[in-house]
Structure 1
Amino acid sequence: MTRPPERPRPHALPLLLAFDLDGTLIPEMGREVPAPTAAALARLRGLGVRVAVITGRDSAPRPVLEAAQPDAVATNNGGRVELGGELHREARFTVEELRAVLAHELEDARVVVFMPSGLYAELPPGRPPEAWMVERGVRPLADAPTDEPALKVGFYHPGVADFAARLRESHPHLVLTGAQPPYSEFLTVTPTGAHKGAALTLIAEGLGIELERTVVFGDSDNDVAMLELAGYAVQVGQLPLLTPHAHAQVSGPEALGAYLEGLADRLEGAEAPPA
């Protein structure tokens, strides 16, 4: 697969760096930013670079926030956007949409519904909740409040690809990610407009930075929407489907720190932009 047309890495301010979490800013399912990356981010922030975290998770781990000190955070695949610690946008399913999403017909699927009040799950018989669910205080899906909006639904099942195809046909406005490598048995469904490209646009606008002045880092299919919109797109890892959307590639989270140090070197060596 070919990459987009070559363009130079940004080397002057203003600049917004936006990072996916798992497999990008941190190792998969990790909780801490590698020390070289944290040091490079501190250096970049000192130069005036703005930082955003845009993740599929419903919350970013505190150690990540302490290390990255982002100006903006988007969770739920971009469905919830915070600027300066204040809620800016939150996408929610309608009652009809949620009903359609939960009519999945996936026998013994693990289904997790994310609501403002917490997690609600439907688990296969005899299968206990995973440790992260227990830590989050997961409750049975049957106990979910009927008057509270859902923000995201996750499915874990070998047949999610077929279900995703049916849901895309019946509800094309919903946002579906996963159900393909490297998450062949995991599907995430979010409401209309709840994707990382929309989040990047809102964050850039909120911070007063043009999209052409954004550098985005991602490793998976749910990052494509923001990679396509960014002024400069960096693929982290080797996933083939991202290659057509990225201008550059970093081998993995462990190599991200060195890449960011190189970006800081370019910014320090550039002439100050005209007033």
Structure 2
Amino acid sequence: MSAALPVTLPLLMAFDLDGTLIPDRGDRVADDVVSALGRLRNAGVKLAIITGRDVSPSRVRAAVQPDAVATNNGGRIEVNGTLHSEAIFTPDDLEAVLAHELDGARVVLFTAERLYVDVPAGTEPEPWMEVRGYAPLVDAPRDAILKVGYFHAHVAGFAQRLRDSHPHLVLTGAQDPYPHFLTVTPEGAHKGAALSLIADALEVPHARTVAFGDSDNDEAMLEVAGYAVQVGTLPLLARHAHTQVSEQTDLGAFLQAWADQLSLP
């Protein structure tokens, strides 16, 4: 899949993190990507990170210098370093999300300050928990939850039941490339809405936005972007993409070529 790059300078480029801007579970942006983004930024392009993570790595922020950052699949948005919007579960919706029948599931609740997770007795916490800072699941406040994550081999069935009973909630995962991981966010908290809100906040016409993504939670963002770039080969995203970068490691060359076409110094 390929298409000619737009000749009009984009005003906003929005990037997913894992598998798109950086390798999965990484925390470093490749030098050629940093260089290309610098060229585009100097020409007036606004940059945004829109990620499923609850926190974007400080090294990534420093390298990209984004004008906006959306975390929790778009549920929490900062624009120019200031909180712009935050989507929190209602008590009834949270109760429904937590009413699962998945024996042995690892459940994680995310707030803006920390995460809450069940760590079975006799087991060691995983490194990502230690880095983020965590507390027992039972201590989670019920009025500040931004995202719920499930890890379980049979999470797809639970996801379908939740879609049937609460179609207004946003569910991602439970399918390739993350068949054993389900993320649930409140109504309206998805990457497509985040891209639109960020564009409005930065006064960028939606037609002048470019979105980059590789996974199912990027589908809404690619769908609403003025120009959509699929990174990787997930079939689900092909119908929304104007062009494709087959490998994450090729992103820098793609962005450099875009800057070259625009004759940027």
What TM-score, normalized by structure 2, do the two folds share? 0.96
The answer as to 2:183 corresponding to 1:183 is no
Q: Gapped runs of 5+ residues in structure 1?
A: 270-275
Number of residue equivalences: 264
The answer as to 2:217 corresponding to 1:234 is no
Q: What whole-Å deviation, never above 9, does each CA across 1:4-49 have from its counterpart, x for those lacking one?
A: xx86422333521100000000000000101111111111111111
Q: Indicate the SS of the match to 2:238.
A: helix
Quote the Cα distance in structure 1 between the aligned partners of 2:28 and 2:91: 36
- Residue 272 of structure 1 is matched in structure 2 by none
* 1:210 shift after superposition: 1.0
Amino acid at match of 1:142: V
Checking the alignment, whether the CA contact within 8 Å between 2:10 and 2:210 is kept in structure 1 is no
- Residue 58 of structure 1 is matched in structure 2 by 54
- Residue 137 of structure 1 is matched in structure 2 by 133
How is 1:135-214 mapped onto 2 (pairs within 5 angstroms)?
135-146=131-142, 148-214=143-209
Quote the Cα distance in structure 1 between the aligned partners of 2:225 and 2:4: 13
Amino acid at match of 1:231: G
Distance 1:69 1:224, change over 3 A: same
Amino acid at match of 2:192: G
- Residue 273 of structure 1 is matched in structure 2 by none
Structure of greater relative contact order (alpha carbons < 8 Å, 6+ residues apart): 1
- C-alpha RMSD of matched pairs (Å): 1.5
Q: What whole-Å deviation, never above 9, does each CA across 1:153-195 have from its counterpart, x for those lacking one?
A: 0000011100000000111100000000110000000000000
Quote the Cα distance in structure 1 between the aligned partners of 2:48 and 2:19: 16
Which range moves more in the overlay, 205-214 or 124-133?
Answer: 124-133
The answer as to 2:73 corresponding to 1:80 is no
Amino acid at match of 2:105: A
Q: What whole-Å deviation, never above 9, does each CA across 1:116-137 have from its counterpart, x for those lacking one?
A: 3311012455443210102222
Quote the Cα distance in structure 1 between the aligned partners of 2:125 and 2:260: 46
- Residue 124 of structure 2 is matched in structure 1 by 128
Q: Out of 53, 65, 68, which is 1:69 matched to?
A: 65
Q: Indicate the SS of the match to 2:239.
A: helix
Checking the alignment, whether the CA contact within 8 Å between 2:56 and 2:71 is kept in structure 1 is yes
Amino acid at match of 2:137: L
Quote the Cα distance in structure 1 between the aligned partners of 2:226 and 2:133: 40
Q: Indicate the SS of the match to 1:116.
A: coil
- Residue 261 of structure 1 is matched in structure 2 by 256
Checking the alignment, whether the CA contact within 8 Å between 1:236 and 1:251 is kept in structure 2 is yes
Quote the Cα distance in structure 2 between the aligned partners of 1:186 and 1:124: 18
Q: Indicate the SS of the match to 2:108.
A: strand
Q: Out of 20, 23, 27, which is 2:19 matched to?
A: 23
Quote the Cα distance in structure 1 between the aligned partners of 2:119 and 2:176: 23
Q: Indicate the SS of the match to 1:268.
A: coil
Quote the Cα distance in structure 1 between the aligned partners of 2:104 and 2:189: 27
Q: Indicate the SS of the match to 1:52.
A: strand
Quote the Cα distance in structure 1 between the aligned partners of 2:199 and 2:87: 18
Checking the alignment, whether the CA contact within 8 Å between 1:109 and 1:124 is kept in structure 2 is no
Q: Gapped runs of 5+ residues in structure 2?
A: none
Q: Indicate the SS of the match to 1:245.
A: coil
